[in-house]
Structure 1
Amino acid sequence: MSSTTYNTSLIKAEAKRLGFLSCGMSKAGFLEEEAPRLEAWLNKNMHGEMSYMENHFDKRLDPTKLVESSKTVISLLLNYFPEKEQNEAAFKISKYAYGSDYHVVIKDKLKELLHFITSEIGDVHGRAFVDSAPVLDKAWAAKSGLGWMGKHSNLLTKQVGSFYFIAELIVDLELDYDTPVTDHCGSCTACIDACPTQAIVDPYVVDGSKCISYATIELKNEIPEHFRSTMDDWMFGCDVCQDVCPWNRFSQSHREPLFDPNPKLLAMDKKEWEEITQEVFTEIFKMSPIKRTKYTGLKRNIDFLKKK
């Protein structure tokens, strides 16, 4: 066994021990297929007010410009599918936000993995990324053989569906590279048909500015009136396109205690959400990614839903 193959196996085994669903490797370099797609998406203003998507175009497409001397993108998946879901008579929150902030949880695991790599392999340099830098994580995960890009633009995997986070370690270490898997969406259009706002404008193309997740999380101004009849009681994010996907029938609940929700979150009904105070918000979402919208943002979303 070559040292490259040994190191690759070593890293994948440690990733599994740390609780990651899967781990794949791809050669760091320019994403030729993604470049025209990203440019067209931006030119059509499908990013809405997410102006940060216009920044660092070159770095977004080439990690060697983001991490000096990088040779490999190590992509990792971490399950967040919950064992229990919210009270059906409630305003809805996307499943990924039930527990502690995934940025913190995953970053800690990535730091541990990088420490393991330097301890076991030697002088390796790299950086960890969790949805907070110009990295096209879904494209790299697909390139690394962890799944294929579904028609809803989320990564899909036969064994577990799509309810997982994607993260990366970009390192200056050569490893054995994985190959992409084939597309298994076939003729299915479940996600396209079910999208409440028709944000999936073409197979594999999502107009972000039409998405409920965009309206409830990214949008800082008032929610446009045209969302009023289509919000489907979502007050933070939206899971519709994933919930209807046939591949998600294979989803199994996560084993990460930090992703377990506050029991109050699961029990609250619409009336309780409508009357939520700053104190209750702070208690329930103490370590949650929902802190991003702040109390005022969540109240804005709830008030908008109340008036439909």
Structure 2
Amino acid sequence: MKTLAHHNTQLIKQKAQALGFQFCGISKAEFLEEEAPRLEAWLKSGAHGKMSYMENHFDKRLDPTKLVPGAKSVVSLLYNYYPEKDFAQENPEAPKLAKYAYGKDYHHVIKEKLKEFMSILTEEIGEIDGRVFVDSAPVMERQWAAKSGLGWLGKNTLLINKGHGSFFFLAELIIDLELEPDGPIKDYCGTCTRCIDACPTDAITPYHLEANKCISYLTIELKDELPQEFKGKMEGWAFGCDICQDVCPWNRFSKPHNEAHFEPKDGLKELFNNNWQDLTEAVFREAFRHSAVKRTKFSGLKRNLEFVGKN
């Protein structure tokens, strides 16, 4: 006999798919016991660099019931952002931009979908207490996604899905609804070390990321001057970096997204096709309006461009 938890679990997975999420997995909302010592050791080693916010809310990162009192389930979701055409890397002379930043800022796009998701569930099931998250709170997104079987944490520490690779945004519902949890899957990295070998700043060792050496950290999170030790090692990346994903064999299975909001604007394409030396604050504001690149501010992007020798 099918239980209410089973019915609600199937409903949630069906609605997730209808909203465009490629994968949906469920975990019991409980303390991430195995992650606690790993997170503590990572922070103590200083691998998080100047991301001091990572040191905050240690308990909340590990225990979803401290974020949502009474929470019973964590619903993990993956939303594809792999582009059909990698326009930002077509011109070898142009600076490089991480694929996730080609279109509209994913925080806004996915947050709207999550709000709609909660609204649909409330209509179908009744009052649900919970919160939605998309890279916006102390939630260990990759760990929850792995716990629910959506993939495994690769040697580059990213979540890898066996059938579709790793070019996904992660999001969660943490809710007070009893659901049927999924289980984790095995690690399929095997003996492969392509991500480790390809990283030009030596940020990756197996299953460990020195974030303070990562090009994404350096070009986005770090607000100071870029350390001279990385001069000549950035390989043209001006915002983020996709190297460890581009070389990952599992990403040969990546499929183009069908999210109109993630398509690059004409102004951004023009910027990549023309001379970046013409980048002014007005051009920056127009090209990156509603884009995740706004995070660096004009001064930050100029700093990056000058450092990688693209301006």
What TM-score, normalized by structure 1, do the two folds share? Answer: 0.97
Name the residue aligned to 1:40.
41
Q: Is the 8 A contact 1:274 1:302 kept in 2?
A: no
1:161-181, CA deviations, whole angstroms, 9 ceiling, x for partnerless residues?
A: 000000000000010100001
Name the residue aligned to 2:306.
303
When residues 242 and 94 of structure 1 are mapped into structure 2, their CA distance, relative to the original with a 3 A threshold, is same
Name the residue aligned to 1:182.
186
Q: Is the 8 A contact 1:274 1:303 kept in 2?
A: no
1:126-184, CA deviations, whole angstroms, 9 ceiling, x for partnerless residues?
A: 10011010000000000011000000000000111000000000000010100001100
The Cα of 1:84 is off from its aligned counterpart by 1.2
Q: Is the 8 A contact 2:236 2:310 kept in 1?
A: no
Name the residue aligned to 1:248.
251
Name the residue aligned to 1:53.
54
When residues 235 and 98 of structure 1 are mapped into structure 2, their CA distance, relative to the original with a 3 A threshold, is same
Q: Do structure 1's residue 281 and structure 2's residue 284 form an aligned pair?
A: yes
Q: Is the 8 A contact 2:157 2:208 kept in 1?
A: yes
Q: Is the 8 A contact 1:75 1:140 kept in 2?
A: yes
When residues 263 and 186 of structure 1 are mapped into structure 2, their CA distance, relative to the original with a 3 A threshold, is same
Secondary structure at the residue paired with 1:306?
Answer: coil
Q: Do structure 1's residue 204 and structure 2's residue 207 form an aligned pair?
A: yes
Q: After the TM superposition, which residues 263-274 of structure 1 pair with which residues of structure 2 at under 5 Å, given as runs?
A: 263-269=266-272, 272-274=275-277
Name the residue aligned to 1:136.
140
Name the residue aligned to 2:25.
24
Q: Do structure 1's residue 216 and structure 2's residue 219 form an aligned pair?
A: yes
Q: Do structure 1's residue 164 and structure 2's residue 162 form an aligned pair?
A: no
Which letter does structure 2 place at the counterpart of 1:15?
A
Moved more, 163-172 or 86-95: 86-95
Q: Do structure 1's residue 2 and structure 2's residue 3 form an aligned pair?
A: yes
Secondary structure at the residue paired with 1:184?
Answer: coil
Q: Which runs of 4+ in 1 moved over 4 A?
A: none
Secondary structure at the residue paired with 1:23?
Answer: strand
Identity of aligned residues (%): 60
Partner of residue 242 from structure 2, selected from 225, 239, 243: 239
Name the residue aligned to 1:65.
66
Which letter does structure 1 place at the counterpart of 2:111?
K
What TM-score, normalized by structure 2, do the two folds share? Answer: 0.96
**In 2, Cα distance between equivalents of 1:161 and 1:272:** 33
1:3-25, CA deviations, whole angstroms, 9 ceiling, x for partnerless residues?
A: 11111111100100000011010
1:93-123, CA deviations, whole angstroms, 9 ceiling, x for partnerless residues?
A: 0000110010000000001111111110112
**In 2, Cα distance between equivalents of 1:249 and 1:26:** 28
The Cα of 1:280 is off from its aligned counterpart by 1.4
Name the residue aligned to 1:124.
128
Which letter does structure 2 place at the counterpart of 1:111?
K
Structure 1 residues without counterparts, runs of 5 or longer:
none
**In 1, Cα distance between equivalents of 2:272 and 2:111:** 33
**In 1, Cα distance between equivalents of 2:235 and 2:36:** 34
Secondary structure at the residue paired with 1:183?
Answer: coil
Secondary structure at the residue paired with 2:302?
Answer: helix
Structure 2 residues without counterparts, runs of 5 or longer:
none
When residues 307 and 246 of structure 1 are mapped into structure 2, their CA distance, relative to the original with a 3 A threshold, is closer
When residues 222 and 209 of structure 1 are mapped into structure 2, their CA distance, relative to the original with a 3 A threshold, is same
**In 2, Cα distance between equivalents of 1:271 and 1:229:** 23
